[in-house]
Amino acid sequence: MKQTLDLRIGQHLTITPQLQQAIRLLQLSSIELEQEIREVLEKNPLLEEADHADGEEAAAEEPAEAVTADEVRDDGEGDADPAELDWEGDYEPAPSSSGSGDEDNDTNFEARNSRPTSLRDHLLWQLQMTPFSDRDRLVAIAIIDAIDEDGYFVGGVDDILATLPDMELAADEVEAVLHQVQNFDPVGVAARHLGECLDLQLRRLDPATPYRDAARLLTDPTHLKLLGQRDFKEIKRLTHLDSETLGPAMALLKGLNPRPGSHVSTAPNAYVVPEILVKKRRGSWRADLNIAAMPRLRINNHYERMIQRGRGSAQDRFLHDHLQEARWFLKSLQSRNETLLKVARVIVDRQRGFFDHGPEAMRPLVLHDVAGEVGMHESTVSRVTTNKYMMTPRGIFELKYFFSSHVGTADGGTCSATAIRSLIRKIIEAEPPDRPISDSKIADLLLEQGINIARRTIAKYRESLSIPPSSQRKSLV
């Protein structure tokens, strides 16, 4: 067999580790990014957090100049290769308004001592503070172990008897202890079903509370089922309540908590940090980075000088490798923030109507529209708008909120699905309580506004808003 050497010239795309890092940072939320930075700081001695004082001095020497959204799109700076930027110094987006070190220490101390409490722990603590005999205490522990996270006693008296066979308990003993546990906090805990849960809460109200006794009649499982079916006529027949009493009694029921255990924290509250701030300046809406949420990192000058004086030792090579990694990480951070700001400013520019008038003025917007304007791929825009939040005068929104498909109008134009959902919500909120508007009628009302949309689409949008159909929205006359 004859062997030959064949040379070919071709092009292929290689995803370098640096590019992988940039893509990964792009899709992280601000909280995830903060965690990523902490891990990088622990691994790379060449990176360190910049002091707030340094950033303030730099800001005092070189005041930042305001740049409009159009200038960002037109001046071409956003398209510069991050590798060409000067990263020998600090990476400081702008001065932060963070507090002093003492305040930070206080915050950390509170965080360390704010451990969430489970419902079981909360109930066991009350058990310790309540006088029980040893026998009843064992029964109470078995009952607490059978309470789910919503606060319901999901076991049964027979189950407790089977759990403690050696104690030779009687059913009425277990019932008595169960009633004692039902007096624990939160109100309504250890109920065996929804009706009992609501009744426990009503019993704890002042007996002089208006309509309390009428509301207790409604906690019967049969009556609750009829309430869910909106069969008010049958409820009035069974309870002998008139309309003037039934309405307020139902309102009192609605103010109760059907899941009392959910009020006891079992996990830390989730929160978001908006990375974009939107404000109106000189008559126009402007998006800017939330400087307080931006990382403040820099290259460690001490180690950098050691590298410059190095003589090629193993230690020098170690520091040099980490210096390269630190520079690439800073470049990736800069690229992430530039991309985020570009996309946010296009969104704000396209959705000015929303900021002026609300969701009804939302325009149709898809990833392709923004990608074409910022010169990026749709997948990049998708990454940068996922789990990134924008603080506006109308509230905090995920960037993805501003994207929606379009629906045709009678005059040949388009309307965004978000705007239509907002209109549907307004129509339903304004409907007479005793005569809810059907999906077909909503479609007719929208058609009067020039929006031609099918009844089944109305139903789909209504369900996405967690609004029940008209047959379930009817209130007591």
pLDDT at 410: 60
Instruction: Name the domain boundary from 263, 292, 310.
Output: 263
Cβ atoms of residues 41 and 322 within 8 Å: no
Helix (H, G, I), strand (E, B) or coil at 372: helix
Bridge partners, 298 (sequence order): 48, 90
Residue 77 has what pLDDT?
A: 41
> What pLDDT does residue 310 have?
67
**Are β-strands 414-416 and 276-281 bridged in parallel, bridged antiparallel, or unpaired?**
unpaired
- Give a yes or no: residue 235 inside a domain: yes
Residue 5 belongs to a domain: no
185 with 228, same domain: the answer is yes
Q: How far apart are CA 340 and CA 26, in angstroms?
A: 8
CA distance 37 to 148: 38
Q: What is the CATH number of the domain that holds 457?
A: 1.10.10.60
Residue 114 lies in a domain: no
Q: 149 and 222, same structural domain?
A: yes
Residue 102 forms part of a structural domain: no
Neighbours of 326 (CB within 10 A): 25
Terminal-to-terminal C-alpha distance of the chain = 96
Name the H helices within 113-206: 119-128, 134-145, 157-163, 171-181, 194-203
In a domain, 112, yes or no: no
Q: Is the bond leading into 186 cis (omega within 30 degrees of zero)?
A: yes
What is the spatial distance between Cα 371 and Cα 382, in angstroms, rounded to a whole number?
9
Q: Which residue has the tokens 């009649």?
A: 217
- Whether 126 and 231 map to the same domain: the answer is yes
Q: Please give the structure tokens belonging to residue 314.
A: 């193993």
Confirm if 298 and 90 have CB atoms less than 8 A apart. yes
Cα torsion 428, 430, 436, 441 to 10°: value is: -70
- Based on the domain organization, do 292 and 367 belong to the same domain? yes
* Residue 434 DSSP one-character state: T
The reply to whether 242 and 138 lie within a common domain is yes
Amino acid at 276: I
Examine the domain organization and report whether 140 and 243 are in the same domain.
Answer: yes
Residue 12 lies in a domain: no
The answer on 439 and 372 residing in a single domain is no
Residue by residue, pLDDT tens for the chain (477 residues) are 667 776 777 665 556 777 788 888 888 888 889 999 999 999 988 888 876 455 444 443 333 333 333 333 344 444 444 333 343 444 444 333 333 334 444 434 333 344 447 899 999 999 988 899 989 999 999 999 999 999 999 988 888 888 888 888 889 999 999 999 999 989 999 999 999 999 999 999 998 999 999 999 999 999 999 888 888 889 999 999 998 999 899 999 999 999 999 877 555 556 789 999 999 999 999 999 998 888 888 888 887 777 777 666 777 788 888 888 989 999 999 999 999 999 999 999 999 999 999 988 889 898 999 999 999 998 889 989 989 999 999 999 999 999 987 776 666 667 888 888 999 999 998 888 878 999 999 999 988 888 888 888 899 989 888 898 888 887 654
Cα–Cα distances in angstroms (integers) from residue 105 to residues 32, 39, 205, in the given order: 22, 20, 43
Say if residue 309 is in the same domain as residue 215: no
Residue 188: predicted pLDDT: 93
Q: What tokens were used for 390?
A: 């924008």
What torsion, rounded to 10 degrees, do the Cα atoms 281, 285, 289, 291 define?
A: 30
Taking alpha carbons only, the member of 374, 388, 423 closest to residue 290 is 388
Residue that terminates a domain, selected from 347, 365, 391: 391
For residue 106, being part of any structural domain is answered with no
DSSP annotation of 211 reads T
Q: Phi and psi for 392 in degrees, rounded to 5?
A: -130, 165
Which amino acid, one-letter code, is at 333?
Answer: L
Q: Domain check: are 374 and 448 in the same one?
A: no
Overall domain count for the chain:
3
363 bridge partner residues:
none
d(CA 373, CA 73): 8
DSSP-assigned letter for residue 287: E
Domain end marker among 220, 246, 263: 263
User: Token match 């129509």: residue?
Assistant: 427
Same domain, 123 and 259: yes
Tokens of 472: 């379930």
Residues 452 and 386 in one domain: no
Collapsing DSSP to helix, strand or coil, 446 comes out as helix
pTM: 0.57
- Report which DSSP code applies to 260: G
Domain membership flag for residue 11? no
Q: How far apart are CA 93 and CA 289, in angstroms?
A: 9
- Beta strands per DSSP E along 232-326: 276-281, 284-289, 297-299
Let me know whether 177 and 292 are in one domain.
no
Q: Do 142 and 163 touch, CB atoms closer than 8 A?
A: yes
Distance CA 285, CA 127 (A): 57
Cα pseudo-dihedral 16, 17, 23, 26, rounded to 10: -140
Please give the DSSP secondary-structure letter assigned to residue 79. Answer: G
The token pair that represents 344 in the structure block: 């946010």
What would the two tokens of residue 70 be? 């159009």
**How many Å is the maximal CA-CA distance in the chain?**
105
438: containing domain: 404-473
